[in-house]
Amino acid sequence: MPSTSVDGYTLTVAGKLTPGQSGELTVDIAGGDEQGSDVQRYEGAYVHVTAIHAQTLAFADLTPLDSDQRGPEFDVPAKLSKSGDWRLFIEFQTGGQLHTAAITIAL
Protein backbone atom coordinates (compact mmCIF):
# COMPACT_ATOMS: atom_id res chain seq x y z
CA MET A 1 0.00 0.00 0.00
CA PRO A 2 1.52 3.31 -1.01
CA SER A 3 1.87 5.94 1.68
CA THR A 4 3.34 9.39 2.21
CA SER A 5 3.66 11.98 4.96
CA VAL A 6 2.72 15.64 5.02
CA ASP A 7 2.63 18.14 7.89
CA GLY A 8 2.79 15.43 10.59
CA TYR A 9 0.14 13.19 8.98
CA THR A 10 0.72 9.86 7.25
CA LEU A 11 -1.62 8.98 4.39
CA THR A 12 -2.03 5.45 3.06
CA VAL A 13 -4.02 4.50 -0.03
CA ALA A 14 -5.52 1.02 -0.41
CA GLY A 15 -7.76 -0.60 -2.98
CA LYS A 16 -7.49 -2.57 -6.18
CA LEU A 17 -8.56 -0.80 -9.34
CA THR A 18 -8.98 -2.11 -12.88
CA PRO A 19 -8.50 0.38 -15.73
CA GLY A 20 -11.84 1.58 -17.13
CA GLN A 21 -13.92 -0.01 -14.37
CA SER A 22 -15.51 1.54 -11.31
CA GLY A 23 -13.80 0.73 -8.05
CA GLU A 24 -12.98 2.23 -4.69
CA LEU A 25 -9.91 3.57 -2.94
CA THR A 26 -9.58 3.94 0.81
CA VAL A 27 -7.54 6.88 2.07
CA ASP A 28 -6.35 6.47 5.66
CA ILE A 29 -5.08 9.58 7.45
CA ALA A 30 -3.07 8.97 10.63
CA GLY A 31 -1.35 11.45 12.87
CA GLY A 32 -2.08 14.89 14.21
CA ASP A 33 -3.62 15.42 17.62
CA GLU A 34 -6.49 12.97 17.11
CA GLN A 35 -5.03 10.28 14.81
CA GLY A 36 -6.74 11.59 11.72
CA SER A 37 -10.18 12.13 13.25
CA ASP A 38 -9.50 15.89 13.38
CA VAL A 39 -10.02 16.22 9.60
CA GLN A 40 -12.46 19.04 8.86
CA ARG A 41 -14.89 19.48 6.00
CA TYR A 42 -13.37 21.48 3.12
CA GLU A 43 -15.50 22.53 0.13
CA GLY A 44 -18.22 20.04 1.02
CA ALA A 45 -16.14 16.93 1.77
CA TYR A 46 -13.47 15.72 4.17
CA VAL A 47 -11.02 14.62 1.45
CA HIS A 48 -10.59 15.55 -2.20
CA VAL A 49 -8.55 13.42 -4.58
CA THR A 50 -7.34 14.40 -8.05
CA ALA A 51 -5.66 11.70 -10.14
CA ILE A 52 -3.33 12.51 -13.06
CA HIS A 53 -2.02 9.85 -15.46
CA ALA A 54 1.78 10.14 -15.66
CA GLN A 55 2.11 9.47 -19.40
CA THR A 56 -1.00 11.07 -20.94
CA LEU A 57 -1.92 13.67 -18.29
CA ALA A 58 -5.50 12.39 -18.31
CA PHE A 59 -7.12 13.32 -15.02
CA ALA A 60 -9.99 12.30 -12.78
CA ASP A 61 -11.57 14.32 -9.98
CA LEU A 62 -12.64 11.81 -7.33
CA THR A 63 -15.29 12.57 -4.70
CA PRO A 64 -15.75 10.59 -1.47
CA LEU A 65 -18.69 8.19 -1.32
CA ASP A 66 -20.04 9.59 1.92
CA SER A 67 -19.31 13.25 2.58
CA ASP A 68 -20.21 12.68 6.26
CA GLN A 69 -17.30 10.30 6.88
CA ARG A 70 -15.23 11.76 9.71
CA GLY A 71 -12.12 9.61 9.41
CA PRO A 72 -9.53 8.40 9.84
CA GLU A 73 -10.52 6.27 6.81
CA PHE A 74 -12.31 7.73 3.80
CA ASP A 75 -13.85 5.71 0.95
CA VAL A 76 -13.39 7.32 -2.45
CA PRO A 77 -15.02 5.95 -5.63
CA ALA A 78 -12.58 5.79 -8.51
CA LYS A 79 -12.71 5.04 -12.21
CA LEU A 80 -9.36 5.53 -13.89
CA SER A 81 -9.36 5.13 -17.67
CA LYS A 82 -5.91 3.72 -18.44
CA SER A 83 -3.26 1.43 -17.05
CA GLY A 84 0.02 2.96 -15.93
CA ASP A 85 1.11 5.26 -13.13
CA TRP A 86 -1.40 7.69 -11.62
CA ARG A 87 -0.31 10.51 -9.33
CA LEU A 88 -2.93 11.14 -6.64
CA PHE A 89 -3.12 14.56 -5.03
CA ILE A 90 -5.06 14.29 -1.78
CA GLU A 91 -6.32 17.43 -0.04
CA PHE A 92 -7.64 17.54 3.51
CA GLN A 93 -8.01 20.20 6.18
CA THR A 94 -7.21 20.20 9.91
CA GLY A 95 -7.28 23.15 12.29
CA GLY A 96 -8.23 25.43 9.40
CA GLN A 97 -5.04 24.49 7.50
CA LEU A 98 -5.25 22.82 4.09
CA HIS A 99 -2.80 19.96 3.48
CA THR A 100 -1.92 18.39 0.13
CA ALA A 101 -0.26 15.00 -0.15
CA ALA A 102 0.91 13.24 -3.32
CA ILE A 103 1.03 9.45 -3.82
CA THR A 104 1.68 7.44 -6.99
CA ILE A 105 -0.27 4.26 -7.66
CA ALA A 106 0.17 1.83 -10.56
CA LEU A 107 -2.68 0.15 -12.45
Beta strand 73-78 with 23-31: parallel, antiparallel or unpaired?
Answer: antiparallel
- The boundaries of the domain holding residue 45 are 3-106
- Neighbouring residues of 69: CB distance < 8 A, sequence distance ≥ 6: 46, 75
| Number of domains within the chain | 1
Q: List the end-to-end C-alpha distance of the chain, in Å, as a whole number.
A: 13
What's the pLDDT score for residue 35? 57
Check if the beta carbon of residue 86 is closer than 8 Å to that of residue 98.
no
The CATH number of the domain where 18 resides is what?
2.60.40.1930
**pLDDT of amino acid 59:** 93
74-92: pLDDT as tens digits: 999 999 999 999 999 999 9
pLDDT tens digits, 13-33: 999 899 999 999 999 999 866
